[in-house]
Amino acid sequence: MNITIEDFEDLTEEEKNNVPNNGAGKEYANYIRIKHNGETLFLESDAMEPEDAIFIRDLSWIVDAINKCYEIGLAEGKG
């Protein structure tokens, strides 16, 4: 499992075209990448203002990421 924080310039051209243009612009966001065995499992941005971090905001990807990492850890721990 590898988790990195990346700038827009670190993304592939395909990723640059596919990430949402939130906030001041996707080129100004930071990105968290979760990789396993060379495959990107999650690529998400912090492109939200602090005042946008409210309960109605969809941050469910965080729970999904934690669950996916847990599942991988369990599977590899049994192998």
pLDDT digits (tens, 9 = 90+) for 15-66: 999 998 876 789 988 999 999 999 999 999 887 777 777 777 778 888 999 9
Predicted local distance difference test score (pLDDT) of residue 15 = 96
Tokens of 28: 């100004």
Predicted local distance difference test score (pLDDT) of residue 23 = 66
Q: What is the mean pLDDT of residues 66-70?
A: 94
Range of the domain at 66: 2-78
Is the pLDDT score of 5 beyond 90? yes
Tokens of 38: 């060379």
Q: CB count, 10 Å around CB of 60?
A: 8
Total domains in the fold of the chain: 1
Strand 30-36 versus strand 2-7 pairing type: antiparallel
Q: What is the mean pLDDT of residues 9-17?
A: 96
**Nearest-angstrom CA–CA distance, 79 and 65:** 21
